[in-house]
Amino acid sequence: MLFQLFIGLLYLDVSSCNKVDRRNLILSALEKATSFLEDQYDQINTDVVLGFCVLQVYLSGTLEKWDAEPGIKTERERVERLEEKVFTLIKKAKHSLAQHTPGPYRGIGPLLSSGFWKVPHRWSQINTSLAFSQTNGSCLSWKTSDDCISQLLGTRKDGGASCFVPDNCRTLMMKTHCSDYNLSHQLFYFLIAEMKGCLDRLFLDAQYYKDIFCNLMMQINVDAENQALLNFDRDLFTENIFFCGLSGFSDFYKSRWLDLILSWQKPEKGCFWMYGNETSSEKVWEEPTRRSQRVKRGEKILEDGCSSHNTAVAVAAVGGFLYYGF
């Protein structure tokens, strides 16, 4: 009996140490990434600021959860300092965007406002009983997706109320056999509607569609992992964790997936460098993937080939791991 008790206490101690080690790894990665972009705040676009807005919400949610957890004063102070740095980065970047790219900034502005994003308070897992599979080909374009989102946000140039769902957007967002980045666009649309509290009948079935999209996104990640394709699909892999984690699906927070994302960070820079050493400061980047090609809008390749987009997606995903409890 005493031996079993000793083994149990030893297991708890090792488990606690592993948890502390993981927290420190996560916080170090987030600190480095934030410091990297802090020096280049005027070089990043709205998508990047969005990633850091979500990270800020995760940091705030983590501090709230830790109120009931004793003995983590050092980690708590690190999160508080990091949250302050992220807040400063967002504020400076938003000011720069408003000056230099006022059109795109106005279009996505509500998504960057304080209090828009909310972290999950209940967790669920993928519904494996849903027998859906992906199809090849594109379901929706960047432009169509942006138009649908702007009508949901009420930021179209021609005006209009928010939470408007035109017929073409309804049809596109209800498709249940899309693939690749189309899925994250669809899920993003439902997430925005949820954060805004939109009451269109489409969103009455929001959980059903989230189950489908994240089921398919899980298939993509597992397939990429099993077939050793992560040298090509890192951005898609990480983006799936970002969006489905934010949707409350805890099974995307796998410890081995966290280790993979952290291994993709350039330790001497802090950015998540996923495409190779490019020196061009600004370009539209076509991702080298075996899947349907997707062109990023105005991706900024920063110094030493660092991708601002991938860094933002990674910090949002990793912030979710911290909030979830790693």
For the chain, give every domain's residue range. Answer: 2-324
CB proximity list for 130: less than 8 A, separation 6 or greater:
211, 212, 215
Whole-angstrom distance, CA of residue 83 vs CA of residue 8 = 36
Ranking 9-18, 52-61, 165-174 by mean pLDDT, the lowest is 9-18
Long-range contacts of 231-235 (CB under 8 A, 24+ apart): 232/288, 232/289, 232/290, 233/289, 233/290, 233/291, 234/264, 234/274, 234/310, 235/274, 235/287, 235/309, 235/310, 235/313
102 has a pLDDT exceeding 80: yes
233 has a pLDDT exceeding 90: no
Closest C-alpha among 133, 139, 132, 121 to residue 247? 121
Give ∠ CA 100-105-109 in degrees, rounded to 5: 150
Amino acid 314 reads A
258 has a pLDDT exceeding 60: yes
Tell me the two tokens of residue 219. 């298939």
Per-residue pLDDT band for 286 (boundaries 50, 70, 90) equals: very low
Whole-angstrom distance, CA of residue 151 vs CA of residue 161 = 8
Residues 245, 324: contact at Cβ < 8 Å? yes
| pTM as predicted | 0.88
292 has a pLDDT exceeding 50: no
Whole-angstrom distance, CA of residue 75 vs CA of residue 28 = 11
Residues 301, 307: contact at Cβ < 8 Å? yes
